[in-house]
Every structure is written in C-alpha cells, then in structure tokens.
Amino acid sequence: MAGEEKAGSEGYLIGYERELKTIAEAIEQSGSDTPSHIAIIAEPMGGRTTIVAEIRRLYGDRVYYLPLEFVIKQDALPDFTCLVNDIILIDNCQFLTTRVIGGFDVLDTFLRMQITSKKIFITTWNAHSWQYLSSVMSIDAYFPTIVALSKIDTPVLKQIILTRHKSGEIRFLDEGSAERSIFFSVIHRTVRLPFTSTEISVPWIKLNFFVMRSGLSRKKRVQISIEDIIFEKINRISDGNTGVAILLWDTSLKDNTISLSAITENSYSISLDTNESFILSVILSMESLHAKDLSAIAAGEMDIERVLYRLVQQDLVIDNAGYYSIAPFALKHVTDYLRKTRRLW
C-alpha cells in the first residue's frame, strides 16, 4: 500500500476526475429522505485511498470517516444514527464479512442500518470481495451509485508520477535507442518446459507496444522519448494499477535517475493446490488478513500454517506482523492465476 498511501497523502487527484464527479453528483442529488448510497470499488492498491482522501478534503466536517483495518465483530459496529455528520465514509468494507458460516451477520446488520438511515453512506470495497458479495447476496442492490475505479493509462500514470517530483528533478537515462526505434527487439527469456520442471533460455521477440500503437513512420520513431518508453514499461508491469506502478517507480528510482534496465519485472511460476488457491483468493479479496481470521476461515479443513508457509515461500504473500497480504508485484500474476483456476468469478 505504500505507493498508494503516498499518492493519496499529497492531496492531488489525477486520473479519477470522472469518478469524483459521479460521486459529487450522487451526493448533491441525494434527498434527505432518499439518500443515494455510494460504493467505490477497486482492485487492491487501485486508487481507493486517493479517492477517499479527496472526498474527505472536499466535504470536510460533513464526513464521518471510519477506516476498517481488520475483520470487525458485531458489537464493534458503531451506531451511526447518533452522529451529526450527514456523510458516513467507510473504507475497506470487505472487513464487514468473513468467509465462514455466520460471517455475513455483521454485513447484514450494516446493510439493514444503512437502508433505514437518512445519512449518505459512501463505502469502499475490494473489487474481488465486491464481486463475491454481489454473487452471493446481491449487495449491489443496496447501492444506487457504484463507482468502479478503472485501470490507468500510461499518460495518466506519467502525470501522476511526475507531479510527485519537481520539474526537471528526474533524469531519464537513455541506454541506447535500439529498443524504442523498432517495433520489436529480441530478448532471452527463461521458459519452463511443459510437463517438467526444467527451465531453458530461449530467444524471444519482445513487442514494443508503444511504437506499434503510435503507428509512426520509421523516421519519426526516433522522436519517442525515453520517458514515454519507461512509463509504458511501468504501466505494463503494473497492469494499470496505480499503487503498484508508483511502488515500482519508487523501487526503480536511484538518486533521481531511472533507466529501462532498472525497472525489473518479477516472474512467478504459480503452482498451488485447492487449499492454497482458496486461501490466496481470500487474502486477495480481503487485502490484509490476520492469521487468526485465516485460521477461522480454514476451520480445521486444512493446515493453515502449512498453506501460509507455501504462499509466503513462493513470494505471493507477505507476512507483516501476523497480517497476510498479496505481494504488490505478484498482484497481477495472482489475479490471473486465480481467474484461470476459477477462484475469482
């Protein structure tokens, strides 16, 4: 979350203007009798914190802010009716549920309270958790306004990142024009042979998407700046995820200098059994879960310590003082794997 937190804390909002306008309109149009509750949905590190910070900045004292950081119990749910604020902003609402029998009771209570309240509820949700809850209990029916934060494009990412630095502060190191002056370049990639664990290095054609998309003539191609190529690479690796992209930028930046070779892409060879895939999907949906909550979800059906060890050992999950979350750079690979194996619907 480091990248996303940093982006949000600096008080700018680039790339989410349309989403913020939708939220503002929903708030303005909400009558006192028929509040239009809002759900903001995004993938992990996908920009929710930035939006939340902006809503708090725009609406100031009207907002009661409740960030959820872990799975909450029934008695921990505050009584919103006695608050003077007319906007209730609850961050990380996926923590209102947990994937066990009886794990939806808090959410049921919350939704009943929400639909009988005259206040406007703005809630943020992990996109995978939202999808699950929509399928299981049609949660989307409770929110007339649903704002899904989409993946960002390279120009927007460039703008977001460069705004964090002074003009001319960053030096983009040009290591040669070979990669940007042609449509593709030959690289060597390690490939795992099918049905075996052997890895071999094979020549691979790497497409230069930016140049191809630009459709520029050969003469003009050399005019594409190294800056654009670098941001294209960052956006491709981060799969349009703002938080991951900013984290990758911060990791690759050395002494205010960045080069293409400094931006490294991790490769993952994911091989998991049913229990490991399930726990991985739960962690992805909840973003961060304590070992105790994971043990409750496992409910004696599996050896949770072994499962967590395997996930951490494969660099898919990180253990932060007992709280488990998906490793930021593994996010895209984990999501793709879980979609392929039907753990995400």
Partner 1 sequence: MAVSLLPNVTTDLQLPIKTIDANLVLYIVLVIVIAYVLTYLLSFILVRFSERIGWYRTSVTMIIPLLKLLIYAFALYYIIIAVIEPSLTQIVAFSGLFGAAIGFGLKDLFADIVGGVVIIFEKPYQIGDKVTIGDKYGEVKDIGIRSTRIKTPADELVSVPNFTLFSQPVTSGNAGDLAMMIVIDLFIHPDSDAEKAMKILKEALVTSKYVIISNKYPYTVLLEDFPFYKRVRAKGYVNDLRLEFEFKSEVTRRAWTEFKKAGIQPPAFVPPSTDKGGQSPASR
- Dihedral sign (CA 96, 49, 239, 334): negative
3-state secondary structure of 71: coil
Nearest to 51 by CA among 81, 94, 7, 93: 7
The span from the CA of 326 to the CA of 344, in Å, is 15
Question: How many angstroms separate the most distant Cα atoms in the chain?
Answer: 68
The span from the CA of 178 to the CA of 197, in Å, is 34
Find the shortest distance in angstroms from Cβ 99 to partner 1.
Answer: 5
Nearest to 331 by CA among 125, 128, 67: 128
Name the residue nearer to partner 1 (CB basis): 143 or 249. 143
Find the shortest distance in angstroms from Cβ 105 to partner 1.
Answer: 9
Find the shortest distance in angstroms from Cβ 339 to partner 1.
Answer: 8
3-state secondary structure of 11: coil
Find the shortest distance in angstroms from Cβ 275 to partner 1.
Answer: 7
Find the shortest distance in angstroms from Cβ 143 to partner 1.
Answer: 18
Find the shortest distance in angstroms from Cβ 13 to partner 1.
Answer: 33
Name the residue nearer to partner 1 (CB basis): 121 or 278. 278
Name the residue nearer to partner 1 (CB basis): 105 or 265. 105
3-state secondary structure of 331: helix
Token pair belonging to 120? 């406007």
Name the residue nearer to partner 1 (CB basis): 255 or 301. 301
Q: Where are the beta strands (DSSP E) in 222-303?
A: 257-259, 289-290
The span from the CA of 318 to the CA of 6, in Å, is 20
Find the shortest distance in angstroms from Cβ 135 to partner 1.
Answer: 4
Interface residues with partner 1 (CB under 8 A)? 99-104, 132, 135-136, 194-195, 274-275, 278, 299, 301, 339-343, 345
Cα separations (Å) of 230 from 92, 142, 188, 234, 236? 32, 42, 20, 6, 10
